């Protein structure tokens, strides 16, 4: 007959207790040193990629401006109202692109720092959620660039008076695009946020179903404030928000059913 200490449950409990003890015994300076090392790797990765992409900054801006240039009339073009705009706009975009491309590495560094403090069950859930959040953020940016941005630009240019030649400043266009990318990237995180709230017990799928009509109205209300002041922009953000909420709700039901088994 095996002793109680040899049972898997006891070993797991002891392992978790040992893990907690090690974390508690680690001085705060050690935590800060580890955090500093991870932060240094993040900053170094951003800078390395930034300087690698810098020679292609103007080409990158041309790619970004393609949806606008495709909508402009024949005699119109983009302009620079500031002397430094022709340099700073591609420079800022280059930094944004470097940050977005290195985001998986940044998430990995955050995961590596937090991993020792997590239990096995938390680790098994956290990693898929982190990977999903990165993928959804990129999908949101792609949706904004390929679908939302051309439609929004077409609307604004088509309603401009015939006597006005649209000539957008490159800094204004960059700020508009980056805001749109960030808004859609964060919006596409709704399924992950919904799952997290269900997993930690803040809400249940049944309570979300009961409040669905209020959530749908909330999607349109939020999109009204974070998008340009036109109906197309609001609809193109609100509808994906609603569908992504339904996606998170669908997976939430699956998780709750597995817990009941």
Domain that holds residue 219: 29-60+73-260
Q: What is the pLDDT of residues 39-64, one digit of tens each?
A: 999 999 999 999 999 999 999 999 99
Q: Report if residue 13 sits inside a domain.
A: no
For the chain, the domain total comes to 1
Q: Which of 62-66, 73-77, 142-146 has the lowest mean pLDDT?
A: 73-77
Please compute the mean of the pLDDT values over residues 164-176 and round it to a whole number.
88
Q: Report if residue 22 sits inside a domain.
A: no
Q: What is the pLDDT of residues 125-145, one digit of tens each?
A: 777 888 888 999 999 999 999
120-143 and 103-114 helices, crossing angle to 10°: 160
Tokens of 181: 């990318």
Predicted model pTM: 0.81
Dist. CA 217–CA 24, nearest whole Å: 46
Q: Report if residue 149 sits inside a domain.
A: yes
The percentage of the chain sitting over the pLDDT mark of 70, rounded to a whole number, equals 89
Tokens of 155: 């609307």
Write the burial class of residue 235 (CB in 10 Å: 0-12 exposed, 13-18 middle, 19+ buried): middle
Q: Report if residue 68 sits inside a domain.
A: no
Q: Report if residue 82 sits inside a domain.
A: yes
Q: Report if residue 52 sits inside a domain.
A: yes
Give me the helices (H) in the chain, please.
8-25, 28-53, 57-71, 85-101, 103-114, 120-143, 149-158, 170-187, 190-199, 205-210, 212-226, 231-260
Q: Report if residue 249 sits inside a domain.
A: yes
Tokens of 226: 């974070």
Q: Report if residue 226 sits inside a domain.
A: yes
């Amino acid at each position: 007959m095996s002793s109680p200490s040899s049972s898997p449950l006891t070993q797991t409990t002891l392992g978790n207790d040992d893990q907690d003890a090690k974390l508690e015994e680690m001085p705060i300076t050690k935590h800060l040193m580890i955090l500093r090392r991870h932060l240094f790797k993040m900053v170094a990765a951003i800078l390395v990629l930034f300087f690698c992409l810098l020679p292609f900054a103007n080409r990158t801006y041309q790619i970004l401006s393609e949806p606008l240039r495709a909508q402009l009339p024949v005699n119109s073009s983009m302009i620079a109202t500031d002397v430094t705009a022709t340099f700073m706009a591609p420079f800022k975009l280059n930094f944004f692109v470097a940050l977005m491309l290195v985001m998986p590495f940044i998430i990995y560094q955050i995961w590596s720092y937090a991993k020792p403090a997590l239990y096995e069950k938390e680790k098994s859930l956290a990693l898929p959620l982190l990977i999903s959040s990165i993928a959804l953020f990129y999908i949101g940016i792609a949706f904004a660039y390929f679908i939302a941005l051309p439609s929004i630009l077409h609307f604004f240019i088509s309603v401009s008076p015939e006597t006005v030649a649209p000539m957008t400043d490159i800094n204004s266009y960059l700020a508009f695009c980056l805001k749109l990318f960030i808004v859609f990237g964060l919006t596409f995180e709704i399924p992950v946020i919904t799952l997290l709230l269900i997993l930690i017990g803040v809400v249940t799928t049944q309570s979300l179903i009961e409040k669905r009509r209020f959530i749908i109205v909330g999607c349109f209300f939020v999109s009204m404030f974070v998008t340009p002041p036109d109906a197309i922009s609001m609809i193109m953000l609100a509808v994906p928000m609603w569908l992504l909420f339904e996606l998170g709700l669908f997976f939430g039901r699956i998780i709750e059913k597995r817990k009941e088994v």
